[in-house]
Amino acid sequence: MTSSPRPTILLLSGANLAILGEREPEIYGTTTLAEIVERSRVRASAHDLDVEHLQSNHDGDLVDAILHARGRVDAIIVNPGAFTHYAWSIHDALASFEGPVIEVHLSNPNAREPWRHTSVVSPVATGTIAGLGAAGYELAVDAIAELLDR
């Protein structure tokens, strides 16, 4: 018997997130990106969802991944890193995606330097989770499961 493919979440990690765990742990915590991806997969699996992950320090790679997700992937979770604050190319790509988009930040950018208070991604996100550390990703998966269920 062939089983039908499970709905898929594309998890996107932007600039400097590959060194999570080592990078300013007092701000971003000690959980590595590999652990975050694994926890997201476990949580997604509990909802019968799959996760694809891409990390890149190049905004164009994230744009390509979002465009490739159109009509193929069911939802996106994105932590763009510093691209959050200026990458209109990522904004425009996400605007073309038809499914739910959850923006995640480990820290709370609004409680930090003024230049972090602007997100060019928030206007095209279904919702944003910020300031809850690595747990924010599992909550984002729960939110996607809820949104896809409706």
Residues that bind ligand DQA (CB under 6 A): 16, 79, 81-82, 84, 105-107, 109, 116
Q: Pick the closer one to ligand DQA by CB: 132 or 148.
A: 132
- Two structure tokens written together for 35: 């652990």
Nearer to ligand DQA, 86 or 147 (CB): 86
Nearer to ligand DQA, 74 or 81 (CB): 81
**105 among known catalytic residues:** yes
CB of 97 to ligand DQA, least distance (A): 19
Q: What's the min distance (Å) between Cβ of 82 and ligand DQA?
A: 4
Give the integer Cα–Cα distance in Å for 86 and 109. Answer: 14
Residue 23 beta carbon to ligand DQA: minimum distance, rounded to whole angstroms: 8
Q: Which of 53, 91, 105, 137 is catalytic?
A: 105
For residue 119, give the nearest of 132, 137, 101, 133 by alpha carbon: 101
Write the secondary structure of 45-88 as one string of H (helix), E (strand) and C (coil). HHCCCEEEEEECCCHHHHHHHHHHHCCCCCEEEEECHHHHHCCH
3-state secondary structure of 104: strand
How far apart CA 43 and CA 13 sit, in angstroms, is: 18
Q: Which of the residues 28, 53, 91, 137 is marked catalytic?
A: 28
Active-site positions read 28, 105
